[in-house]
Amino acid sequence: MKANIITISREFGSGGREIGQKLAAKLGIPFYDKEIIAETAYKTGFAEEYVKKQGEYASARNWFEYSFSARNNSYGMSPEDYLWSKQREVILDLVKKGPCVIVGRCADYILRDRNDVLNVFIHADYDKRIKRICEVYKEPEHTEKMLKDIDKKRSFNYKYYTEQTWGKSQNYDITLDAGTLGIDQCVDIIAEVAKKDLDK
């Protein structure tokens, strides 16, 4: 079966989101990122800014702190877990509409039982990510800390909800170095792989 759904997980500053957008345009299918945030915010009543950050990034400073923050609550589901459950519902509903590209938000894990999903991880050399972040965010003095913090928070969040290691190659169908290959070549490679039958 060919890939109907493509999930893009990525290191911060690697260009994964741009790759996802260009890939969706190339294949003529929807690209879901802001739509997931907006719909999850609608379902939960949380602000979109909260969903944008908390839906993918852990708020704690280390794994131990994140594992226990707001989760020893005996009165029911924590805000983080409630957000996770609704975000999961949104993703499952979106893929029912047809082929698409989804960036981040543990979509690779959420869709793990489907056999028509191609899971991609995008990474890049540290210095190249720093350079890209400086160009995109125009705040070079915050770049290094931003990169480390966001990747760490994505990793904690992914680990907590999937019990898997974020970025580990065995958890994805393909991993690509966007710093070496470039954005457009990554798009071409993923598009070509997506057209082939997946052996899952």
The pLDDT of residue 76: 57
- Residue 108 has a pLDDT of 96
Contact 116, 2 (CB under 8 A): yes
CATH class of 5-195: alpha beta
Q: With helix as H, strand as E and coil as C, how does 162-190 read?
A: HCCCCCCHHHCCEEEEHHHHCHHHHHHHH
Which tens digit of pLDDT belongs to each residue from 103-152?
A: 999 999 999 999 999 999 999 999 999 888 888 776 666 677 778 888 88
Task: Please name the residues in contact with 96: beta carbons below 8 A apart, sequence gap of 6 or more.
Answer: none
Extract the tokens encoding 111. 């869709």
Tens digit of each residue's pLDDT (9 = 90 or more) over 3-58: 899 999 999 999 999 999 999 999 999 999 988 999 999 998 998 888 888 877 76
Domain range annotation of the chain:
5-195
Q: Give me the residue label for tokens 């969040």.
A: 157
Q: How many residues does the chain have?
A: 200
Which of 8-12, 62-66, 73-77 has the least mean pLDDT?
62-66
User: Are the C-beta atoms of residues 145 and 90 closer than 8 Å to each other?
Assistant: no
Beta-carbon-side half-sphere exposure of residue 121 (alpha carbons within 13 Å): 17
Are the C-beta atoms of residues 60 and 80 closer than 8 Å to each other?
Answer: no
Q: Using alpha carbons only, give the angle 177, 61, 142 rounded to the nearest 5 degrees.
A: 60
Range in 56-70, 86-100, 153-167 with the lowest mean pLDDT: 56-70
> What span, in angstroms and rounded, lies between the C-alpha atoms of 62 and 165?
15
3-class DSSP state of 122: strand
pLDDT of 50: 87
Residue 74 has pLDDT above 60, yes or no: no
